[in-house]
Every structure is written in C-alpha cells, then in structure tokens.
Amino acid sequence: MTSISQHDIGLVGLAVMGQNLVMNMANHGYSVGVFNRTTETTDAFLSRLKDLPEDVASPDSVNFISGYRTLAELVGHLKSPRKVMLMVKAGDPVDVVIQQLIPQLDQGDIIIDGGNSHFLDTIRRTKEVEDAGLVFVGTGVSGGEEGALKGPSIMPGGSTTAWESVKELFQSMSAKVGEKGEVPCCEWIGPDGAGHYVKMIHNGIEYGDMQLICEAYFLLKHVLKMENDELAKTFAEWNQGELESYLIEITRDIFTVRDEETGEFLIDHILDTAGQKGTGRWMCQHALDLGTPTSLITEAVYARCLSAQKELRQTAGNLLVGPTEQFEGNREQFVEDIRQALYLSKLCSYAQGFSQLAEAAKEFGWDLDYGQIALLWRGGCIIRSRFLEDIKKAYDRNSQLENLLLDEFFRNAISKSQPSWRRVVATAVRFGLPTPAFSAALSYYDGLRHERLPANLLQAQRDYFGAHRYRLIDKNKDETFHTDWIRKRKEI
C-alpha cells in the first residue's frame, strides 16, 4: 500500500460506520488517514482492504488510505486546513478526542463529529472548539452501514465558516438523486447543533415509520390471518404506489427469508423485543421541553419500551383477557384500508416532525429550509421515500407553512381516505390489537381540526384545586381569573 504523506482528511474511530465512510471517501479519490484507539482494529482494517471486492473498494482506492498509531502522527499527515472526522461513540468519548486534538491543531483547522451526538452537546462543542480558534462541524450521517459505503444522507451544521471547506468532500460522498443522479443529499443545515437536531428528527420519524409498518403487519397477520408469502406480496404491491420507500421495500424482503437451519420463515423465529439507541427518545424529550405534541413518535418509543418487557407480557398474557373476534368483512377492502391508514398516519408523523423542527428553530435562532431538508432524505437514508417530494412541494407553495396537514395536498389526501383510517383503528380496538401509532396519528389529526378542545375544563380543574387561574374567551389573552369554586358550587 502506498503511503500518502498529505491526506485530505483524517478519520478517528474504525467501527463499521467509520470503515465504510473511509472506503467511500477513498472510492471518490480522497486520501484518508485513519486512527483507532486500539491499533489492532486499525491493522485489521488495513490488512483486509486489498481483499475487498471492487464494489466495496476500488483497486485504486486502497492506495488512498493509510493508518497511524497515534493522533499526533495522523494530524501530522493532513493537508492544511486539517480536517479530522470523529466516528466514535457519542457522549464522553467525543469530548475526550476533541480535547486531545485541540492542542495539536492550528487556527482554522476543522473537527467534524459524524456520530449520533445530542444536539445540546454539539451546541456546547461548537463554542468550545471555536473559542480555541478552530472550526467545528456536527453532522448527521444517515443510511446505516450500506449508506456510509455507497452514499449516505449527510446533514452538516456547526461553525458557519466550515461549509466551504467540507462541501466538496461531503457532497461527493453523499447519496445522489434526480433524473441523472446529479443532486447530492447533502446541504448545510445551520449553525451549532442544527445538523444533529435534523438528524435526531430524521431518526424519530424513522421510529414512527417503523412502528406504523409493524402495526400494519400485525393487523394483516392477526385480523386477516395472512401468511408470510401473502405479506411479502402485499408489501411489494404497496411499494409501487404512494408508500414507495426503503422501509416498505426491506419489509417486503424480510417476509421472503427462510432460516437456513429449519427452512422456516426467519421472521417467525425472531424475539419480539426491540431496542433503541437514544435518538428517538431525545426527540420526544425535547418535544416536551418545547411543548410540541410529537405524540405518534412518542408512542413509537413507548412501543419499543413495552416490547422490552417480555417477561411481564408473558405473565399478563396468562391473566388478562381480551376480545375474540373473527373477520367477516371484505378482505381486499380491509387491505386497502390498512394501506390508506399507513399512508395517512405517515403524513401525521412527518407533520409532527417538521412542526418540532420549526419550534426548535425558533428556540435556537436557526433559519432552516424545510423543503431542502426533505430533499436531503430522498436518498441514502433510512426514511427515503417518494413521499418526500410532496413535502418539498408543500414548502415551495408556502415557506411559512405552520403545519404540513394544512397544505392542500395533505388536506385532500386525508379527506379522501380518512374513512379507511377510522375503520382500521376501530377494527384494531374491536379485535384487541395494539395500534398505538395509528391511534396517536388519528387522535392528533382530530385534535388539530377541532377549534375547541376540552382544555377549558382542565383549566377549571387546575384553578379549583390549585388556584392556577384561567383565561376567558372574550377577555384580553394576558388577563387571568380565579374563582372560589367551593363557595360557588351547588349541591346536586
């Protein structure tokens, strides 16, 4: 392997995502120096490069990668301004590496955090790195292992002076869309934590999409008694229309795979518990801080939490009873109802996600381009889908759109198909099947469309027991009132 003394970028952290990003950069002609805390990992990565197939690492690309034993050696072999990308575990490890790098870098050099860091950490780190005379980029990278290698969606934010220095590299290695594959799925998001915030919203929407698909599967399996072959066919048909997306596509594939040992369908042997890495939970926690009703995605997080309580559910399953129903309706119509419910719930999921983005932008002073953000997710990332074009068009029609559900396209879609949505949720209740995301989406829509909600009673209750005061419809909105409810109540 040829040693390159002046690399375009250095990368720290050679887990699978880091390795694949290195090969992606090298495949696009960029020279990369790599460092890992454990030198055995670096040696193993370098030794297998020459044996990788050409669709993973081109013959020339292996000559663009060199490994180093220390951070100092890596930094010493980078072109100025030096760029160092961190692909280490989020949290304290990022801070440790940053503090090790700062004394070794010169003014104007760039530190890039490409992990799933919390946006508040990125806001703090941007200031700390800038105070040291350096430049910081906190960037979301979506697409998993395959995306990292073949082209992810990249969502950079941080120091406002950074974009011109990393633009060519990032856009070169990102996914491409458009008729000729000419549009990179990478654009500057905004200052400090904006990039990682958008990635967090992406991951939260991903949680929602996955939960909605799981609920559709559960209904098809337990109401219509579909076998896996029929499920695969159904999801293949759904992927030809409005629901066309990466997640629908891989769901179709999953129902076709058999276990090599037993010959039976693998899906039926997978334990029904799901984990999470934190980004979905962060989104819901910050939604509460902002006072934004991101209810569908919160229910998706809670669904994973409930799935993890396997022993409790096994105990409860032997003690708690539910309805016993048999489906007697039109099977084809109910399949279509589920498809429509999935589509409309998905609309609500994105509406909630973009509403939270808008509230966060107000909170932190970010000037976000929501249509452009939707376009970043068209390729490379987990939630890529046909539907994202419709979001871009909605913001083209009205860049100040308060909620996606107010757009004409979204209004018409829900108006046309909401009977299906309601039939699905009602059927799930009748059969005793949990559909927290479908139900949360419908409740959100119904809550949004009601000009008057029962919070007037809630205000009265709070004033009754805690003298929290209330406002009146026909009075100044800043004027509050208190009633001595006990003295004025009447006996019934």
Catalytically active residues, by annotation? 199, 206
Beta-bridge partner residues of 138: 113, 157
Three-class SS state of 278: coil
Per DSSP, 103 falls in state G
Encoded tokens for 483 = 């009633």
- What is the C-alpha separation between 395 and 206, in angstroms, rounded? 21
Q: What angle do CA 198, 203, 207 make, to 5 degrees?
A: 145
| Alpha carbon distances (Å) from 140 to 88, 185, 243 | 13, 12, 25
- What is the C-alpha separation between 443 and 39, in angstroms, rounded? 53
| Alpha carbon distances (Å) from 249 to 33, 81, 166, 366, 382 | 36, 42, 33, 34, 11
Q: Half-sphere exposure of residue 65, counting CA atoms within 13 Å on the CB side?
A: 30
- What is the C-alpha separation between 356 and 347, in angstroms, rounded? 14
Q: Half-sphere exposure of residue 185, counting CA atoms within 13 Å on the CB side?
A: 30
Three-class SS state of 181: coil
- What is the C-alpha separation between 251 and 238, in angstroms, rounded? 11
Using a 10 angstrom Cβ sphere, with 0-12 exposed, 13-18 middle and 19 or more buried, the burial of residue 360 is buried
Number of DSSP helices (H) and strands (E) in the chain, helices first: 20, 10
